[in-house]
């Protein structure tokens, strides 16, 4: 069960609107990081006995998996879909990552770190800081011209990725605090299995993410080297990226970390799930029908009530 509370900006009052929602969807995508909550709200304007709190764009909603516990989602309603038919109105609330992707600035960072960049961007956006992963990777210089706050933070953590090889996820926790975590957390005590939870599954393979050659350039745009995987090039042809040399970073090592030699396998699963199966986490999958067995990274998720 999920419980939804409305905080009205017009009255300042808080309402439990759970029983007035016929359907709720809580979803997220690794590529976007932010999460959203959509719900179908009962709408019967000609029924005098149905008295429900009015909802408007800008109102805040919070979602709880248990009454009295901390929220798993906090966001503002930023989209409303009405139809001419009487029945429901669909409202969609987004967490603060949405604002960070829509707000832009220009910054020139000197002698900082990814976590330092995240803390400053958090402060400028008026967000509380939550768990921000400390990489301790130095950034001597980084110019960000007309970039979103989200892209600036991720650009800083990409510099850390070039040295550590780790992937990092920016998110907002249920209390509305900015967090950055390393993508490594696996859901404990839960397996997506065809004998217990999976109802449908299919696999797609694509070469879209292959990078088998990286040309290295100096900061004056002079080509100074190349890293490539000959076997992948022989099998799939050339898929090339570029890397610009950075101070304090071994160019060949950083360029080699961009190499991805094999097709990407994507799996879509419909299941009786677990609320911890969120984009950015890993989950164990056992599916005899498709031969899936192992630990898989969740790229996107939708939980429906």
Which residues lie closer than 8 Å to 235 by C-beta, 6 or more apart?
none
Spatial contact of 278 and 190, defined as CB atoms under 8 Å apart: no
Spatial contact of 247 and 141, defined as CB atoms under 8 Å apart: yes
Top pLDDT among 101 and 33 is at 101
> Can you tell me the mean pLDDT for 140-161?
95
Name the nearest CA neighbour of 164 among 254, 293, 30, 267: 254
Quote the pLDDT of residue 178.
92
At residue 285 the predicted structure's pLDDT band, cuts being 50, 70 and 90, is: very high
Mean pLDDT score across all residues of the chain: 92
At residue 68 the predicted structure's pLDDT band, cuts being 50, 70 and 90, is: confident
Rounded (5°) CA angle 83-87-91: 60
Quote the pLDDT of residue 205.
87
143-156: b (≥16 Cβ within 10 Å) or e: ebeebbbbebbbbb
Quote the pLDDT of residue 255.
93
At residue 234 the predicted structure's pLDDT band, cuts being 50, 70 and 90, is: very high
Q: What is the 3-state secondary structure (H, E, C) of 41-55?
A: EEECCCCCCCCCCCC
CA–CA distance, 101 with 232 (Å, rounded to integer): 35
Quote the pLDDT of residue 289.
83
Residue with token string 């990407």? 264
Spatial contact of 252 and 161, defined as CB atoms under 8 Å apart: no
Q: CB neighbours (10 Å) of residue 170?
A: 23
103: Cα separation from own chain's centroid: 17
Domain annotation for the chain: domains and CATH numbers: 3-94 (2.30.300.10), 99-182 (3.55.50.10), 186-206+264-304 (no CATH), 213-256 (no CATH)
Q: CB neighbours (10 Å) of residue 81?
A: 11
> Can you tell me the mean pLDDT for 70-84?
91
Query: Is the model's pTM score more than 0.85?
Result: no
- Does the pLDDT value for residue 152 go beyond 80? yes
Name the 3-class secondary structure at 165. Answer: coil
Structural tokens at position 223: 């080509």
CA–CA distance, 181 with 193 (Å, rounded to integer): 27
Pairing of strands 129-132, 178-182: parallel
Top pLDDT among 82 and 214 is at 214
- Does the pLDDT value for residue 84 go beyond 80? no
At residue 120 the predicted structure's pLDDT band, cuts being 50, 70 and 90, is: very high
Share of the chain above pLDDT 90, in %: 72
H helix or E strand, kind and range, residue 14 = strand 14-16
Quote the pLDDT of residue 106.
97
At residue 129 the predicted structure's pLDDT band, cuts being 50, 70 and 90, is: very high
Spatial contact of 300 and 27, defined as CB atoms under 8 Å apart: yes
At residue 16 the predicted structure's pLDDT band, cuts being 50, 70 and 90, is: very high
Share of the chain above pLDDT 70, in %: 99
Quote the pLDDT of residue 33.
76
> Can you tell me the mean pLDDT for 134-157?
95
CA–CA distance, 294 with 283 (Å, rounded to integer): 8
- Does the pLDDT value for residue 264 go beyond 90? no
CA–CA distance, 303 with 274 (Å, rounded to integer): 9
Q: Partners of 242 in the beta sheet? A: 215
């Amino acid at each position: 069960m999920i419980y939804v509370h409305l905080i009205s900006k017009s009255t300042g009052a808080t309402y439990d609107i759970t029983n007035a929602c016929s359907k709720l969807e809580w979803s997220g995508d690794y590529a976007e990081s932010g999460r959203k909550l959509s719900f179908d709200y009962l709408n019967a304007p000609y029924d005098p006995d149905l008295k429900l709190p009015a909802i408007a764009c800008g109102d805040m909603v919070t979602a709880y998996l248990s009454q009295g516990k901390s929220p798993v989602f906090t966001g503002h309603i930023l989209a409303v879909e009405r139809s001419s038919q009487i029945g429901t109105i669909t409202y969609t609330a987004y967490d603060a990552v949405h604002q960070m992707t829509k707000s832009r600035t220009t910054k020139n960072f000197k002698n900082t770190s990814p976590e330092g960049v995240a803390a400053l961007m958090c402060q400028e956006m008026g967000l509380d800081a939550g768990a921000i992963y400390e990489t301790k990777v130095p950034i001597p210089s980084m110019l960000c011209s007309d970039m979103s706050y989200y892209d600036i933070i991720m650009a800083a953590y990409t510099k850390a990725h070039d040295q550590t090889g780790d992937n990092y996820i920016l998110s907002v926790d249920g209390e509305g605090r900015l967090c950055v975590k390393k993508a490594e957390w696996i859901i404990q005590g839960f397996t997506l299995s065809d004998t217990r939870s999976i109802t449908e599954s299919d696999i797609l393979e694509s070469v879209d993410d292959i990078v088998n050659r990286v040309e290295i350039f100096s900061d004056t745009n002079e080509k100074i080297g190349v890293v490539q995987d000959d076997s992948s090039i022989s099998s799939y042809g050339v898929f090339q990226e570029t890397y610009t040399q950075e101070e304090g970073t071994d160019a060949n090592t950083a360029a080699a970390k961009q190499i991805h030699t094999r097709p990407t396998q994507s799996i879509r699963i419909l299941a009786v799930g677990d609320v911890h199966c969120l984009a950015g986490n890993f989950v164990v999958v056992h599916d005899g029908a498709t031969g899936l067995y192992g630990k898989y990274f969740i790229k996107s998720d939708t939980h429906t009530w």
